[in-house]
Structure 1
Amino acid sequence: MPIHYKCRHCETEIGQLPLDSIDEQFLQKNNITPEEQDLYIVHGVEGDYTVQCICEECQSSLQKFPNYYALKKWIQ
């Protein structure tokens, strides 16, 4: 199953990696805490993973309007 990368704001799919699973050593090497895993990595029902990240357009908007950081979902 691939690992999908999806913008957590606009839900645009950014890309995917053709990996079968997320390797525990990868998570430890990159200092991803269990709390961050719960926030940013979603386990799908088919065994796939989705990493919640941010696309370039949303990053640009957040830089222009920093008050958006306070909102959980700012794109309707």
Structure 2
Amino acid sequence: MSFVYQCRHCGQTLGKIEQQVADAAMLGLDKLSIEDKKEMIQYQENGDVQIKTICESCEESLGTNPHYHELDFFIQ
């Protein structure tokens, strides 16, 4: 099983943790609200867990262009 961190905007893979045994508390995922968990965590058919986050480049773009927050995807 792997935990794959991927940018929600550009799709870039930011990191991958390959663990045989891991839990939500170990990664801090238990601190998320139910809504955030639904939005950020996806379970893949192969057992991997995909976690949506934001990369530095997209974070910078959002800081420079605050109106982008209204969009689900601002990178074409």
TM-score under structure 2 length normalisation: 0.86
Uncovered stretches (5+) of structure 1, i.e. residues with no partner: none
Indicate how the Cα distance of structure 1 residues 22 and 42 shifts in structure 2: closer, same or farther if over 3 A, else same: farther
Alignment of 1:60 with 2:60, yes or no, is yes
CA distance in 2, matches of 1:51, 1:24: 11
Quote the offset at 1:20 in angstroms.
3.5
Indicate how the Cα distance of structure 1 residues 67 and 60 shifts in structure 2: closer, same or farther if over 3 A, else same: same
CA distance in 1, matches of 2:53, 2:60: 14
TM-score under structure 1 length normalisation: 0.86
Map 1:38-49; keep pairs closer than 5 Å. Answer: 38-49=38-49
Asked if the contact 1:3–1:21 (Cα under 8 Å) also holds between the matched residues in 2, the reply is: no
Q: SS of the counterpart of 2:16?
A: strand
CA distance in 1, matches of 2:49, 2:12: 15
The runs of at least 4 aligned residues of structure 1 exceeding 6 Å deviation read none
Indicate how the Cα distance of structure 1 residues 36 and 56 shifts in structure 2: closer, same or farther if over 3 A, else same: same
Identity of aligned residues (%): 32
